[in-house]
Amino acid sequence: MFNGSGTLSRSLAVLVALFILIPMLLVAVMSFGQGSSLRFPPQAYTLESYAAYFKSRSWTIPTLNSFVIGALSAILALAVTTPAAFAFTLYDFRGKRLIRLLVMMPLMVPFIVMALAYFFFFGQIGLLNTMAGVIIAHACLAIPIVFLIQSASLKGFDWTLVRASQACGAGAFTTFRRICLPILRPSFLVAGLFAFISSFDETVVALFISGRAASTLPRRMFESVRQESDPIVAVVSTLLFGAVAAVALVVALRQRRAARPANR
Amino acid sequence: MATSRMYAEDNFKASRQFWHGAIRAARPWILLLPVLTVIIVLFLVPLLGILRLSIQGEDGYSLASYATFFTDSFHLAVLGRTLGVALIVTLGCLILGYPVAYVAARYAGGLGTALLLIVTMSFWTSFLARTYAWMVILGSQGLISNLARALGFEPPQILFTGLASNIGMIHIMLPFMVLALFAVMQRIDRTLLRASEGLGATRFQTFRRVFLPLSVPGMINGCAMVYIVCLGFYVTPELLGGPRDQLIARQIGSQIEQLLDWREAATMAAVLLAVTLVIYAVYDFFFGLDRLWRS
């Protein structure tokens, strides 16, 4: 009875899904190709580019830098933001709205504006082209993400558990360590992961402030795409896409496993 | 004697109460101190540095650079193009994203799940990787050109034009739009749709009179998010776009790269920031910013 429009919407959706998917699959094909990184289809297929990626220090060092910067900026963002998320759920205080806006600011300001701001600021205090500079910048940019995730999870937190713990004689620190932390662990992990990925994927700020010394993977990819026709960029893109696909697969399988008992 | 001791005790109690009260009042601020320090010293100070730079003349502060910006036809054209391109990309994302979100929300089974999976995977995939993919597709040695040659006609130049940059931006922003739409569509009450169909409406009528109006909040959220990100988009237009289709973010970027005019770069950044914040303020006035961030 509803066949007409149902088929139409579904075929449209499938077409758009192909538009989303095909470019990513194309890159995977490119990564096995030989020769120029911009010719499609490639003339021959090899694994040479993969070997070249793992052998080339100009690629492995930025990769390592990105992991280190991502991890440290995520930890920094978690450490400074989590107490604020507690303050926002536990207390009412003057200027709450304004401070919330301040904490969310890094999400609102365009990255290119911050790139210019940090380029100038770090130039003055001598942190330009250093790992520390990129870590600080990325930690600031991750604060709103961590704040949103942590406050959302704290909203559902059962504070009677804290009162119960304190009634049993536990101090604030013990309560935090033995009660809050285990219950909130998933939220810590998710917030940390999001902060890590936002840093790992961040290109614009890193492009201008990381320099050669602290070059991140996106910066290396950007330069590679702009200047050379280096097939390694296809390898890196494929590895990144492969990592996402693997995580998606694991999550999907887990959800299915979790859903199964409910179906029975 | 006794009264004075009592007095002292009272005093002591009062002061203890005062201190307890003070500590209680200070507690949120102790928790807020780290984040406020970091945001103010390492985010706000650099940002305000830009604003100061933009008004710093040779002799004291002046708004001369803004006057130059808003009277220079080249800069105005760049600003206008930036606003226009962001609008095109936003509408493109809405048109392409709506059917995907609709089907994902209404057909929860296999197809819906598969669509969501593809969209989420694209969302998480490095956007540099996706930009590079479009260079392969649109380049003069790429998929489309070689396809055109195989069909026997000379391919037009697509890469390094505004079109290529728009396609790339739509591809990158599409997942944001779909997820924003889906978040709202998912919560639409199914019984309303069934009621509409039960009252004899066709599926199209149900869509147009019930589903579409209820999905408007998602459209607003998605469009606001995509539009704002597009205004400051640097990487994709820089890699896919042509030299003639300058956007404001690229202008700022090339000023940094070539270390040309600090003041001009800072002025452009301030204008871009102002436009962005105005859009946020308008959104906040009508809908409240909390709603934008919840998704």
Please work out, in degrees rounded to the nearest 5, the angle formed at the alpha carbon of residue B169 by the alpha carbons of B165 and B175. Answer: 160
pLDDT at site B3: 63
Q: How confident is the model at residue B233 (pLDDT cuts 50, 70, 90)?
A: very high
Q: How confident is the model at residue B2 (pLDDT cuts 50, 70, 90)?
A: low
User: Within 13 Å, how many C-alpha atoms sit on residue B189's CB side?
Assistant: 5
CB–CB of A16 and B34 under 8 A? no
pLDDT at A263 exceeding the cut of 50: no
Rounded to a whole number of angstroms, the distance from the CA of B262 to the nearest CA of chain A is 9
What's the pLDDT tens digit per position in A180-217? 888 889 999 999 999 999 999 999 999 999 988 889 99
Give chain B's end-to-end CA distance (angstroms, integer): 68
CB–CB of B249 and A112 under 8 A? yes
Q: Is the ipTM of this complex over 0.85?
A: yes
CA distance B93 to B169: 9
pLDDT at A72 exceeding the cut of 60: yes
CA distance A23 to A8: 24
What's the pLDDT tens digit per position in B54-112? 988 777 788 888 988 999 999 999 999 999 999 999 999 999 999 999 999 988 778 88
In the structure encoding, which two tokens stand for residue A211, read together? 């320099």
Which ranges in A56-130 belong to alpha helices (H)? 57-90, 96-108, 111-125
Rounded to a whole number of angstroms, the distance from the CA of A5 to the nearest CA of chain B is 7
CB–CB of A120 and B49 under 8 A? yes
Q: Chain B residue with minimal CA distance to A110?
A: B232
In the structure encoding, which two tokens stand for residue B208, read together? 């147009």
In the structure encoding, which two tokens stand for residue A67, read together? 């992991």
Residue with tokens 């391919």: B155
Query: In B, which residues are within 8 Å of A27 by CB distance?
Result: 129, 132-133, 136
Q: Which of B106, B126, B257 sits opposite A240 (nearest CB)?
A: B126
CA distance B270 to B277: 10
Q: Which of B37, B125, B289 sits opposite A241 (nearest CB)?
A: B125
